[in-house]
Structure 1
């Protein structure tokens, strides 16, 4: 199997003459979890759109498991959770989970679904209610369950803990560790540096379309002479 789940090599994206991504190179190994951090407008969303082939790149190359990211077969190994996931309001939770599995051509087995709902403490009875009646936190848990239920080798998660209460955040972290234990790679964005510190093998700091740091959280603190990751982050983008 290819060594890397994801590779970005000198990726460039412009808006007119304005560079949004300026020569980004990033590797994500199989089984690795990388946290992508940056202020609003740093280029994180554009980077995700590029690797998902939702927008074209103006330079460089992106590969998924050794294949060009523009090939649908390459993206078939990827599950994506957007920052704002809005399941169809006309569906209930169970219908949404079955619908998502069907889109990916995967079974939605009752036993596996029950295990994931239990892992996130998502009440099965709640899933009989229309999505429009669920709270923001419940919708986020439903979206997480749907994403992590997909049997994929790469998970791209954009602010996955957004809207979760402390208990739900802890349960999400446990579920994510379980996915990683199965060998999946994870690229996640988060404004919560503590989550990146706890969950990720590496932190990648993106600012003004350029990579300011790529390495472990300990190496980041040491490199910038900071006592904590927040201080290191602020030094990196200064």
Structure 2
């Protein structure tokens, strides 16, 4: 059984074909990275997976259930690229609200552990989000998805706004989360991060999925010294 499966997804905006016949799957305990230039359709695909945007053709299943099914939604935790929680809430209040959506109680001890892991001062949760920096807000969003313990995380540019030490901490946490049998789907244009932690990648270019497989297989197909150089070769830049 696939944790996530997309079949022949197509999406057009006016006369522009953004996604064309996109198909891929993610297995349990796998980290899958979606790679592509900015504005190429990564976020559009994620919105379709989450049923936030209707595709023109194709279907998406989450744990073998249609992505329109409420049961599917309860198995996913999502962090958008532009994470903007209410500035009037305190960090702790946001986490309590987020857990409530899943029918879970807020666990202060787990939140403190995650704060320490991701480099956010635990006391910051008692401050209003309006006083957070971009990096602090991103860490709060990441803490919220990890607290759900959802078996599938969908993260759109999760490294956004993080300094180098926080990026390292997040990569360690993602690897740990995967080790517990969970699956992670995330998009990024930081190819070094993709290469380091992803079991497989999908490369989108000009509306199509031009590759699905491991980073090593991609570099073998487009010979180069790094995933970044292989990517540039694949898209003819």
TM-score, L = length of structure 2: 0.96
SS of the aligned residue for 1:112 comes to: helix
More moved, 102-111 vs 162-171: 102-111
Map Cα deviations across residues 56-78 of structure 1 (whole Å, 9 max, x no partner): 11111110000011112112100
CA distance in 2 between counterparts of 1:125 and 1:40 reads: 35
The residue that corresponds to 1:87 in the other structure is 85
Partner of residue 3 from structure 2, selected from 2, 5, 13:
5
Question: 2:30·2:199 contact (CA, 8 Å) conserved in 1?
Answer: yes
The residue that corresponds to 1:98 in the other structure is 96
The residue that corresponds to 1:191 in the other structure is 189
CA distance in 2 between counterparts of 1:55 and 1:138 reads: 29
Question: 2:5·2:23 contact (CA, 8 Å) conserved in 1?
Answer: yes
Count how many residue pairs are aligned between Structure 1 and Structure 2.
236
CA distance in 1 between counterparts of 2:210 and 2:224 reads: 15
CA distance in 1 between counterparts of 2:155 and 2:53 reads: 18
TM-score, L = length of structure 1: 0.96
Partner of residue 204 from structure 2, selected from 203, 206, 222:
206
Kindly report structure 1 stretches of 4+ aligned residues shifted beyond 6 Å.
none
Shift of 1:44: 0.5
The residue that corresponds to 2:64 in the other structure is 66
SS of the aligned residue for 1:4 comes to: coil
Map Cα deviations across residues 212-233 of structure 1 (whole Å, 9 max, x no partner): 1111111111101111111110
Shift of 1:137: 0.8
The residue that corresponds to 1:47 in the other structure is 45
The residue that corresponds to 1:56 in the other structure is 54
What RMSD, in angstroms, separates the aligned Cα atoms of the two structures? 1.0
Map Cα deviations across residues 75-116 of structure 1 (whole Å, 9 max, x no partner): 210010001111110011111111111112112112222221
Question: 1:212·1:237 contact (CA, 8 Å) conserved in 2?
Answer: no
Shift of 1:151: 1.6
Shift of 1:17: 3.9
Question: 2:38·2:189 contact (CA, 8 Å) conserved in 1?
Answer: no
More moved, 228-237 vs 110-119: 110-119
Shift of 1:208: 1.3
